[in-house]
A and B are shown apart, each in its own frame.
Chain A
Amino acid sequence: EAQVTQNPRYLITVTGKKLTVTCSQNMNHEYMSWYRQDPGLGLRQIYYSMNVEVTDKGDVPEGYKVSRKEKRNFPLILESPSPNQTSLYFCASSWGPDSYEQYFGPGTRLTVT
């Protein structure tokens, strides 16, 4: 089954404790992206990747890091989480950044206290 998986699905953590949210896709997509979704602000892009070892900032990259060492995986790293990073996070993948459907993972609900 074609899918994007994320782990963990739910996470409660404390300020400053490094965490990683994993994302993996099995569709051999080149393009992957991370979004956060907040009430009243909609989906906002954090980082994206056009291919292995090619990543770039989206609209709200501050406080986040990513890496793309393998085509299927695109982890999101919060080195020192803060309460304003409490949000619902989605990973997505696609054949390309503009003309193709983006497939979304199930989401990770992160709470930073």
Chain B
Amino acid sequence: QKEVEQNSGPLSVPEGAIASLNCTYSDRGSQSFFWYRQYSGKSPELIMSIYSNGDKEDGRFTAQLNKASQYVSLLIRDSQPSDSATYLCAAPMYSGGGADGLTFGKGTHLIIQP
């Protein structure tokens, strides 16, 4: 069973601080990783994608990938109340015939305290 694991939280972070979200995955064959943000009752929207080991920065967001440790993280700098949401980590799932789609973690609920 291919799995993507996340701490469900809630993770509470003061406004202006750095929020750090973590994810581990079980399939060593996964080559692409995605972070989605989901507000309550809304659909997931892509925040970051990362394909290579190391860091990828986009504005206040930095994704980090360590394939040897099967670990992906998302850092949110200068956290804002509008960042309060559930963050979903996703990685491809592969069967004998190739990729079937993305496996999503259950999400980390992030709360930014004003």
Contacts and interface: CB of A to CB of B under 8 A. Distances in A.
Interface of A: 31, 33, 35, 40-43, 45, 48, 56, 58, 88, 90, 96-99, 101-102, 104-107, 109
A58 B105 CA distance: 15
Q: Which DSSP category, helix, strand, loop or mixed, fits chain B's interface?
A: strand
Contact of A48 (B31, B43, B88, B101): B101
A107 B99 contact: no
Given A35-B104, A48-B100, 19 more contacts: A33-B101, A42-B88, A42-B104, A43-B44, A45-B101, A48-B101, A58-B100, A90-B44, A97-B92, A97-B99, A97-B102, A98-B92, A98-B99, A99-B31, A99-B92, A101-B49, A104-B44, A105-B43, A107-B42
Contact of A107 (B43, B100, B104): B43
Interface residues of B, number: 25
Contact of B106 (A41, A56, A98): A41
A45 B43 contact: no
A62 B99 CA distance: 21
Given A42-B107, A43-B88, A97-B92, A102 B43 contact: no
B43 A99 contact: no
Contacts of A99: 31-32, 51, 92
Contacts of A102: 34, 46, 90, 101-102
A96 B45 contact: no
Interface string B53-81: 00000000000000000000000000000
Contacts of A31: 101
A30 B45 CA distance: 19
A41 B32 CA distance: 23
A73 to B, nearest CB: 18
A42 B92 contact: no
B55 to A, nearest CB: 19
Contacts of B92: 97-99
B44 A45 contact: no
B3 to A, nearest CB: 11
Contacts of B42: 106-107
